Amino acid sequence: MMPIGENKTSDIQDETYHHIATFTQNKNWIATRRQQLETFGVTSLAEALPASIRETIAMAGRGALEGHGIRRGLTKYETGDTPRRMRNVRKDDIDASAPIITQIYHSSILRDLLTSIIAETVLLCPYEPEQYLITRLEYEGDTQGWHIDDYALALNWVIDSCPTDLGGFLQLFPNSIPSATNSIAKIHYERSLYNYPSLPLDVYLIRTDRNLHRVYPLQAATLRSVVNMTFAVSADFHKHINHRSIELLWG
């Protein structure tokens, strides 16, 4: 299947290509998103992506979750044994059951948009199992605990959102990276926390390698589901990356 923007044979492809290109070329809009990303670690790109394609992604994601979702859980030693409890769908199952997600991920026009925002060439994630995944929080206590990602960017497409009082919203400590001399406890004490809501059909970009982040635990049974797309920058290709936690979580 050809990436959107490289073969505009359908109305949806043509609409999507031109819609995204309009925002990519809007210098003021790009500058605002870049500032938000640098200041808070996250920014919404929903405006730049047609509602029709966001709805299509949501429907495909729900179908993949119903057919291939598997409950998983672990704790992550590198970030203070913080928990991961969720249902997820792996890349191979997405390729088989929701090819529109595969198509959108490989779209050059989407990477052009991200490149304009971060002012650095955005590349496909070199570790294929992490390129795109689907996660669903559904039970009380489900969460994605505090962590920093191996690769630079995550583009998250909201499938199901939940009210703020039920949790499920994103939390970040902007420009904070845990280390041997900068523990999660120290970051909590010294840095300001930024909360980002779970909004219906939102699409938000996170600079995941520079901003400690988590999803606030669900306070009751509800649904908070996203398609997560991972992108890299050139520096990621020169890191020694251990994919152990991803392999344990995704099976």
**pLDDT digits over 85-110, tens only?**
899 999 999 999 999 999 999 999 99
In a domain, 174, yes or no: yes
- How large is the average pLDDT for residues 172-182? 89
pLDDT at 128: 95
Asked whether residue 191 is domain-assigned, the answer is yes
Q: Tell me what pLDDT residue 182 has.
A: 83
Q: Encode pLDDT of 38-81 as tens digits.
A: 999 999 999 999 999 999 999 999 999 999 999 987 665 544 55
pLDDT of amino acid 8: 38
Q: Tell me, yes or no, whether 2 lies in a domain.
A: no
Assess if residue 5 is contained within a domain.
Answer: no
Copy the structure tokens of residue 31: 């500058």
- What percent of the chain has pLDDT above 70? 88
Taking the CA atoms of 228, 223, 163 and 177 in sequence, report the sign of the dihedral they define: negative
- C-alpha 240/C-alpha 145 separation (Å) is 23
Q: What is the pLDDT of residue 1?
A: 37
CA 13 to chain centre: 22
Longest Cα separation, the chain: 54
- The answer to the question of residue 49 being in a domain is yes
Q: Is residue 79 part of a domain?
A: yes
Q: What angle do CA 55, 57, 62 make, to 5 degrees?
A: 95
User: Residue with structure tokens 């429907």?
Assistant: 59
pLDDT at 83: 76
φ/ψ of 224, rounded to 5, equals -140, 105
pLDDT at 73: 76
Q: Which residues contact 39 (CB under 8 A, 6 or more apart)?
A: 174
Summarize the confidence of residues 111-127 as an average pLDDT.
97
With respect to residue 74, please indicate whether it lies within any of the assigned structural domains: yes
Range of the domain at 17: 11-250
Q: Is residue 6 part of a domain?
A: no
Backbone angles phi, psi at 67, to 5 degrees: -90, -25
Q: How many folded domains does the chain comprise?
A: 1
| Domain of residue 85, CATH code | 2.60.120.620
